[in-house]
Amino acid sequence: MPTGVLVLIGFGLLLLAGLGLTLPLVINQAIDTPVSPTGLLWMLLIAYLVFTLTLVFQRKQAAWNLSIGMATLVVPLTLILWQYASALGALFGVVLGVLLVLALRGPRVRTWFSQP
């Protein structure tokens, strides 16, 4: 498994853990409103991450485009880090984004997604 794929899987699992830790807030909102915008967004993000990681593990060709989309999730993460952790958090988000993009551009990563 190429290093870029490992970085992507680590990032996806980190996002899933973050979504899981904030899920009690969504559940508390569901008491007042069964369908909330935050709840819909969290469920869509969880489904997207699980589906993408499943395709990455199966080495499917469709996982390449989905993994690029997953790497773009670092943009809202950078904004959230900037809000809560100031410039140091934003710098961490930017470095993580650059690391993900550079890791996914390697030729070994592209050939990893070979199953039709």
- Of 61, 69, 57, which is closest to residue 101 (Cα–Cα)? 69
Domain boundaries, position 46? 3-111
The residue to which tokens 């969290």 are assigned: 42
| pLDDT per residue rounded down to tens, the chain (116 residues) | 888 899 999 999 999 999 999 999 888 888 888 888 888 999 999 999 999 999 999 999 888 889 989 989 999 889 988 998 889 989 999 999 999 988 888 888 888 888 88
pLDDT value of residue 21? 94
**Domain total of the chain:** 1
Whether 89 maps to a domain, the answer reads: yes
- Of 68, 48, 49, which is closest to residue 109 (Cα–Cα)? 68
Whether 116 maps to a domain, the answer reads: no
